[in-house]
Chain A
Amino acid sequence: MSVSGTTPSLISKLPARLTNFFARYPPQIYSSLARPEVPETAAAEATTPTAAGEESEGLPSPYTPNRDAKGHKPADPKAFSPSRALLYSDPKHPNPFLPKKNFRTGKWVSPRFGLRQQADLVKLAIRYNVEELLPPGRKSTEFKQTRREECGLRIKGTGIGQKVKGHKWERTMEARLEDRRKAMMEMPEMIRAWKQRGHGRGWKKWPKR
């Protein structure tokens, strides 16, 4: 959809809040459509699975978590992520939905529109079907969707390459079942020997408590 091709009739239909916003922040400069494409290399790097991700594929059962795994490390906040790449701000025309860092003083300047106002604008824009004309922000459908894909269900240990320590009964489950299986395999032989030795009279191997 070309922004310049937006018909005057559409603009007249929009509520004043949106028209005022678009007058102040023209979509040609600020909208998510005007955002440059994410470089291919950066995107590819982000999608390649890490070494930890490859390890998890050989996991035999959910009851044998890696004992070395002590939770997963939180992701590097400065690392590339698809959702973060969406939050683009042109240095010449700072995105009014994003905070800005003053590199001289090192201080952050709050966004021109707070999250509450952003959410209102986005909801309004969605109702009038002009969401993509708004600047990219944390309240946009696109951002929310990308972030949901990235974070998954937000349950610890469910992501790729993530593990949890688990309860002790979970960690030892496999070994205990193996012991039980072996014991049950030998049970008929054991009972036979026990009966042979006078039902325990000559029995030597008593278990320890």
Chain B
Amino acid sequence: MAKKAKSRTISVRLISMAMTGYYRTMIRPRLHRPLSMLKYDPVVKKKVLFLEATKGGRNK
């Protein structure tokens, strides 16, 4: 039986680098480079860096 085709996009988790445990989930194309952005963290009430968390595999 043929393997199911992988979806073009994946949902990724962007973790707050303020170590608050706060994260945002986003969707990006599978082949895109990992996401990273400045976003507001409500725990520290500041704009902080959010980086995509590696999930099992590794980011390119």
Chain B interface residue count, CB cutoff 8 Å, equals: 24
- B28-60 contacts to A, CB under 8 A, are 33-38, 43-44, 46, 48-49, 51-55, 58-59
**Does the CB pair A183–B18 fall under 8 Å?**
yes
5 closest residue pairs by CB, A with B: A200-B36, A209-B53, A183-B19, A179-B19, A206-B59
Residues of A within 8 A of B (CB): 176, 179-180, 182-184, 187, 190-191, 194, 199-201, 203, 206-209
- Min distance, Cβ B26 to any Cβ of chain A, angstroms: 13
- Min distance, Cβ A74 to any Cβ of chain B, angstroms: 38
Complex Cα spacing A162 to B36, Å: 48
B17 sits at the interface (CB 8 A): yes
B9 sits at the interface (CB 8 A): no
**Does the CB pair A194–B54 fall under 8 Å?**
no
Complex Cα spacing A208 to B59, Å: 10
- Which residues of A have CB within 8 Å of B35? 200
- Which residues of A have CB within 8 Å of B13? 209
**Does the CB pair A187–B53 fall under 8 Å?**
no
- Min distance, Cβ A194 to any Cβ of chain B, angstroms: 6
- Which residues of A have CB within 8 Å of B37? 199-200
Q: Report B1-41 CB contacts with A as 1/0, cut-off 8 Å.
A: 00000000000010101111000000000000111111000
